[in-house]
C-alpha cells in the first residue's frame, strides 16, 4: 500500500464513523488512534498544527505533546 492509498483509507474511516464519534464503542478506538498520528505526519517538533472541528479533541491533545510549547 502506498502513502496515498493509506491516506485514503484513513479519510474514509473517519468519514464513515463521524456521525458516532463519541459513541461508547468508538471512544476506545479514538483515544488510542491519535498516538499513531504524530508518526504518520512525521512531525519534527517545529511545526504548528491547527485542529479545526475534529471531534473529540483527542488528536489535538496528543499532537500537542510533539509540538513547541512556546507559542
C-alpha to C-alpha distances, 9 to 5, 27, 37, nearest whole angstrom:
6, 19, 14
**Is the pLDDT confidence value at 44 over 60?**
yes
Rounded to two decimals, what is the model's pTM?
0.53
pLDDT for residue 70: 65
- Domain extent at residue 7: 3-64
Within-domain flag for 70: no
- pLDDT band of residue 43 (cuts 50, 70, 90) is confident
Asked if residue 69 belongs to a domain, the reply is: no
Q: CA 22 to CA 47: how far, in whole Å?
A: 28
Classify residue 58: in a domain, yes or no. yes
Q: Is residue 71 part of a domain?
A: no
Q: How many domains are contained in the chain?
A: 1
Amino acid at each position: 500500500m502506498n502513502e496515498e492509498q493509506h491516506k485514503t483509507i484513513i479519510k474514509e474511516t473517519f468519514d464513515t464513523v463521524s456521525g458516532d464519534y463519541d459513541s461508547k464503542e468508538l471512544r476506545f478506538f479514538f483515544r488510542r488512534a491519535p498516538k499513531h498520528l504524530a508518526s504518520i505526519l512525521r512531525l519534527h517538533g517545529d511545526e504548528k498544527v491547527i485542529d479545526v472541528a475534529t471531534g473529540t479533541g483527542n488528536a489535538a491533545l496528543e499532537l500537542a505533546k510533539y509540538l513547541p510549547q512556546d507559542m
